[in-house]
Amino acid sequence: MFTRSKKFLKTVVLASVLGTLTGGAYANEALIDKLYEKGVISDTEYKEIKADKVDVDPNSLKGKWKGGFKWETLDGKNKFQVAGRIQMDYYDYDHDNEESEYSIRRVYLGVKGTIDDIWGLEATYNPDASNLEYGFLDYKPSKKFITRFGQQKFYAGFEEGTSSRFVDFLERSVADGLHPGKQIGIQVFGEPIKKTFFYALGHYNGEGSNAGEADAANDGQDTMVAVAYNVAGAMSKSKDVIAHIGYATASGNRDGTANIFSIDGEARGDTFGTWTTTANSYDRDYTNVVLVGAKGPFKFMTERTTVEVDALGQSGEVEASQLSLMWRLTGEPYAKTYSMKGMKGVKPNQPFNSKGGLGSWEVGIRKSEWDAQAAAPAAATNLAYAGSTLVKTTTLGVTWVPVEKVRFKANLVTTDYGDTPVGGELEEEAFILRAQVDF
């Protein structure tokens, strides 16, 4: 009897101590239930402990570090997170048209939250540009159906859906340069079948981030439809494999007599192409097709983006494409960092710390092409294109991730402008570096 009483007393003390260290009443109950299941405490003792349970305010917050600084109520229905990133770059060009310099590429600071389990929010500020990067409200009764209102990224392509924190190279490809990007509008998206089928429907201004319609008489918002299917998700043994097929299309009407768009090189060098129109308005159609395949630590991606413009019956077209091959030398499988909206950050198998560890190492190559030869046909007097019409770029890259939230990247970017000089140069070579932290 004495021995059993000692066991009971130890159980109560242990549960109280662990509960204090790990989150209070909920940790207490989990431990007590486990001890009861194993027969360490009797039915009578179990009932006595349950009867003495201390009431805890369900609205109180507990903080933790789990991929960021997070707080949540004990029932997990209300959450709050401080989030941000800093990307510090160095660019070294082989010509004098651009400065070789250190720069702060991005500084984001924001908050993310969940209210009553079905409402979400994010507000992210960019102090460098003094504007809002993201600002939206979610209604998310399930992951199969989410409605997002506000300034957001529209999922019109896999590389665009991947955060700048986790893209394969320092800068996105020219194929991504044609994407809608961040817009103000409404989007409905979800995964009816987890990691197998994804859809997105969007309606947005089409004028870019922090921008409304330019002409009250021409409300030409864009309408977008995107779908993706991961063949590997339907396979019984797909945990190490990605076989992603994505398609997106968008169309809308814009005010004319202005730039349709301008684009810079993949090393953020000179603007090598500017597409303009003199028409009062024009129709714009966007199409994106992407394939992503991976097996273990090897991944490839190919993407093609096309934008067609009709300016009062005169048509032009620009195409951009890319193909990339990636290899994580330290063996982390890409399937673990895959989502249907884009890639996520890798957790190194052996984090680099005071005890050793290699971190995660990745190498890759990307070939991309920009084709504007049909941007302004000779008979299209309402359309004009200035710059290089055929640009080819090769990027070699290496990435080191010592721990999940710290990343270093080095890229060698070689660009061929074809027969049209850009800033007096037919080619550009750039060496670029990045040190990054996010939370």
pLDDT digits (tens, 9 = 90+) for 155-172: 999 999 999 999 999 999
Q: Which residues of the chain have pLDDT under 70?
A: 1-30, 49-56, 214-219, 236-237, 257
How much is the pTM? 0.83
Q: For residue 284, what are the contacts with CB-CB under 8 A and spacing of at least 6?
A: 206, 222, 251, 252, 253, 254, 260, 307, 308, 309
What pLDDT score was predicted for residue 13? 46
The CATH number for 69-438, chosen from 3.30.70.260, 3.40.710.10, 3.40.50.300, 2.40.160.10, is: 2.40.160.10
Chain centroid to CA 338: how far?
A: 11
What pLDDT score was predicted for residue 258? 77
Cα dist from 246 to 195, 288, 290, 292, 304, whole Å: 13, 8, 5, 9, 11
Structure tokens at 135: 């600002």
What pLDDT score was predicted for residue 220? 79
What pLDDT score was predicted for residue 21? 41
What pLDDT score was predicted for residue 230? 96
Partner residues linked to 298 by β-bridges = 295, 327
What pLDDT score was predicted for residue 261? 87
Q: DSSP 3-state assignment of 288? A: strand
Nearest CA among 116, 49, 45, 120 for reference residue 81: 120
CA dist 226 and 287 (Å) reads 10
What pLDDT score was predicted for residue 145? 96
Question: Where does CATH 2.40.160.10 sit in the chain?
Answer: 69-438
Rounded to a whole number of angstroms, the distance between the first and last alpha carbons of the chain is: 53
